[in-house]
Amino acid sequence: MDDVIENLSVQNADFVADFYHLSRNEFGFQHSRVSRFLVSHVLARKRRFKDLRLVLDQMLQEEGDFLTYRN
Protein backbone atom coordinates (compact mmCIF):
# COMPACT_ATOMS: atom_id res chain seq x y z
CA MET A 1 0.00 0.00 0.00
CA ASP A 2 2.90 2.35 0.71
CA ASP A 3 4.05 2.05 -2.91
CA VAL A 4 0.54 2.73 -4.21
CA ILE A 5 0.20 5.88 -2.13
CA GLU A 6 3.68 7.05 -3.09
CA ASN A 7 2.95 6.55 -6.80
CA LEU A 8 -0.41 8.28 -6.51
CA SER A 9 1.19 11.25 -4.77
CA VAL A 10 3.47 11.73 -7.76
CA GLN A 11 0.80 11.13 -10.41
CA ASN A 12 -2.26 12.75 -8.84
CA ALA A 13 -1.81 14.38 -5.47
CA ASP A 14 -5.49 15.29 -5.19
CA PHE A 15 -6.48 11.63 -5.40
CA VAL A 16 -4.19 10.48 -2.57
CA ALA A 17 -6.33 11.70 0.34
CA ASP A 18 -9.51 10.31 -1.21
CA PHE A 19 -7.86 6.94 -1.78
CA TYR A 20 -6.46 6.92 1.75
CA HIS A 21 -9.85 7.67 3.34
CA LEU A 22 -11.73 5.28 1.06
CA SER A 23 -9.39 2.37 1.75
CA ARG A 24 -9.48 3.07 5.48
CA ASN A 25 -13.16 3.88 6.01
CA GLU A 26 -14.87 1.71 3.39
CA PHE A 27 -12.57 -1.31 3.35
CA GLY A 28 -11.13 -1.20 6.87
CA PHE A 29 -7.52 -1.12 5.67
CA GLN A 30 -4.98 -0.32 8.40
CA HIS A 31 -2.39 2.01 6.94
CA SER A 32 1.23 1.88 7.99
CA ARG A 33 3.00 4.82 9.55
CA VAL A 34 4.84 5.33 6.25
CA SER A 35 1.62 5.63 4.23
CA ARG A 36 0.19 8.03 6.82
CA PHE A 37 3.28 10.22 6.61
CA LEU A 38 3.19 10.16 2.80
CA VAL A 39 -0.46 11.23 2.82
CA SER A 40 0.27 13.87 5.46
CA HIS A 41 3.07 15.30 3.36
CA VAL A 42 0.83 15.52 0.28
CA LEU A 43 -1.97 17.15 2.27
CA ALA A 44 0.39 19.71 3.80
CA ARG A 45 1.85 20.53 0.38
CA LYS A 46 -1.67 21.03 -1.00
CA ARG A 47 -2.57 23.12 2.09
CA ARG A 48 -5.45 20.79 2.96
CA PHE A 49 -5.01 21.32 6.67
CA LYS A 50 -8.42 20.01 7.76
CA ASP A 51 -7.71 16.66 6.08
CA LEU A 52 -4.17 16.69 7.44
CA ARG A 53 -5.46 17.18 10.97
CA LEU A 54 -7.84 14.24 10.52
CA VAL A 55 -5.03 11.92 9.40
CA LEU A 56 -2.75 12.99 12.26
CA ASP A 57 -5.55 12.72 14.85
CA GLN A 58 -6.35 9.20 13.63
CA MET A 59 -2.70 8.24 13.85
CA LEU A 60 -2.41 9.55 17.41
CA GLN A 61 -5.61 7.80 18.39
CA GLU A 62 -4.45 4.45 17.02
CA GLU A 63 -0.75 4.61 17.91
CA GLY A 64 -0.62 6.98 20.86
CA ASP A 65 1.70 9.93 21.18
CA PHE A 66 5.47 9.86 21.31
CA LEU A 67 5.45 9.90 25.14
CA THR A 68 3.97 6.41 25.02
CA TYR A 69 7.21 5.09 23.54
CA ARG A 70 9.55 6.95 25.86
CA ASN A 71 11.57 4.91 28.36
pLDDT tens digits for range 11-58: 777 788 888 888 888 888 888 888 888 889 888 988 989 989 998 998
Q: Report d(CA 60, CA 54) in Å as an integer.
A: 10
Domain with 10, as residue range(s), is 2-69
How remote is the C-alpha of 40 from its chain's centroid?
5
The set of residues, in sequence order, having a beta carbon less than 8 Å from that of 44 and lying 6+ positions away, is 52
The total number of structural domains in the chain stands at 1
Give the up-direction half-sphere exposure of residue 13: CA atoms within 13 A in the CB hemisphere: 11
Please state the pTM of the whole predicted model: 0.72
pLDDT at 66 > cutoff 70: no
Residue 8 pLDDT exceeds 90: no
Q: Taking a C-beta distance cutoff of 8 angstroms, is the pair 54, 62 a contact?
A: no
Amino acid in position 48: R
